[in-house]
């Protein structure tokens, strides 16, 4: 049995952290569903930037959009929603079989809105309506300005993938925003089941501290943070507030381990996947990591519910001179900036391709 199937059987969902039109057209996505047990998919501005930049498969859609008078963000979201809804249809059966727990795909609002609460809510509602799929997540960053947008989107029935979370404190703030939205729905007599996941970025913790801590502590901070957040996740779900919400029909906001591709070439390619296996969670893997784990990965034991020695590990890294709280804030800020850079490049790529198509007369 492949390691991906073993992980799935343990109770951790495997989602692909990638989407391209070529992957959809070639049948590659269905192959991953059938052979590597993936049950969902995520996207972000960087993924779409690379997909459109590195393929001619989008040229016809760009040309059609131009003829319809579309450009910029409007043209992009037409293209992205086409890909995302096609992917959602691949996972529709899984979504139905799991009673709406699994089988989701994710589309992110413009990262230019990361600090604009009202516009984020408006765009999230619009994209969810346009997608017209029950298994569509709208990704909203868990920035301070994003938190009230998350609450409001949930209240309005929009499933949300909270992205750009790095620390336990980030996760707890996202969980609070989600729960507030659910509690408002309960108070208003609305169905409290609105799906959500909280996406915790893992590998980005280890890159900035490489060479700044003893060698034996390298590539351990991301794992320790993942374990710390899993412990907090279990504790949160057992509180009276959450139990009350569950009694009204709400579902947990599942914890998602994101950015689990190994960035250090000297480390095992499935380092984070093996270390962060846990039931009722999700691991969203880059394509290369998914293939590697399916080929030669190993499933270790589940994350200890009590957090194991994660606090000891984090304390050692702090003692080596790393301000973990400050790093969490910087990682979230840098992550938002990175997505903005990818978004701006994406708009430039679309504009460039559009200009070339107009010149050629296509």
Catalytic residue annotation: 139
How far are the Cα atoms of 210, 271, 318 from residue 217, in angstroms, in the given order?
9, 14, 11
Residue 106, number of CB atoms within 10 A of its CB = 28
Separation of alpha carbons 350 and 347, rounded Å: 5
Residue 27, number of CB atoms within 10 A of its CB = 10
Separation of alpha carbons 44 and 346, rounded Å: 11
Separation of alpha carbons 253 and 62, rounded Å: 36
Tokens of 329: 């804030």
Q: Are 73 and 56 contacting, i.e. CB atoms less than 8 angstroms apart?
A: no
For the stretch 39-61, what's the b/e string if a residue is b when 16 or more beta carbons lie within 10 angstroms of its beta carbon?
Answer: bbbbbbbbbbbbbbeeeebbbeb
Q: Are 68 and 9 contacting, i.e. CB atoms less than 8 angstroms apart?
A: no
Q: Which residue has the tokens 């727990």?
A: 101
Separation of alpha carbons 171 and 96, rounded Å: 28
Q: Which residue has the tokens 């609002």?
A: 109
Separation of alpha carbons 226 and 202, rounded Å: 7
How far are the Cα atoms of 22, 246, 263 from residue 267, in angstroms, in the given order?
30, 41, 8
């Amino acid at each position: 049995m492949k390691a991906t199937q073993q992980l799935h059987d343990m109770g951790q969902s495997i989602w692909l952290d990638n989407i391209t039109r070529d992957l959809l057209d070639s049948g590659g996505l269905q192959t991953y569903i059938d052979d590597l047990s993936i049950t969902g998919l995520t996207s972000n501005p960087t993924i779409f930037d690379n997909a459109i930049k590195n393929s001619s498969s989008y040229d016809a859609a760009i040309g059609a959009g131009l003829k319809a008078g579309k450009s910029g963000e409007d043209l992009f979201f037409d293209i992205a929603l086409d890909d995302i809804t096609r992917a959602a249809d691949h996972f529709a059966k899984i979504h139905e079989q799991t009673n709406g727990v699994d089988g989701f795909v994710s589309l992110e609002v413009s990262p230019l809105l990361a600090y604009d609460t009202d516009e984020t809510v408006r765009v999230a509602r619009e994209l969810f309506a346009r997608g017209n799929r029950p298994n569509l997540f709208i990704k909203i960053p868990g920035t301070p300005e994003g938190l009230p947008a998350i609450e409001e989107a949930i209240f309005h029935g929009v499933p949300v993938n909270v992205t750009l979370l790095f620390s336990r404190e980030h996760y707890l703030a996202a969980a609070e925003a989600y729960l507030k939205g659910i509690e408002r729905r309960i108070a208003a007599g609305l169905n409290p089941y609105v799906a959500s996941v909280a996406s915790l970025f893992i590998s980005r913790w280890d890159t900035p501290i490489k060479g700044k801590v003893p060698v034996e502590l390298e590539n351990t901070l991301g794992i320790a943070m993942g374990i710390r957040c899993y412990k907090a996740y279990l504790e949160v779900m057992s509180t009276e507030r959450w139990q009350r919400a569950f009694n009204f029909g709400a579902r947990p906001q599942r914890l998602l381990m994101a950015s689990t591709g190994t960035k250090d070439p000297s480390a095992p390619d499935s380092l984070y996947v093996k270390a962060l296996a846990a039931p009722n969670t999700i691991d969203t893997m880059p394509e290369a990591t998914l293939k590697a784990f399916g080929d030669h990965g190993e499933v270790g034991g589940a994350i200890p519910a009590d957090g194991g020695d994660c606090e000891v590990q984090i304390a050692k890294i702090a003692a080596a001179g790393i301000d973990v709280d400050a790093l969490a804030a910087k990682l979230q800020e840098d992550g938002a900036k990175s997505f903005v850079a990818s978004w701006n490049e994406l708009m430039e790529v679309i504009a460039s391709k559009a200009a070339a198509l107009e010149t050629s007369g296509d």
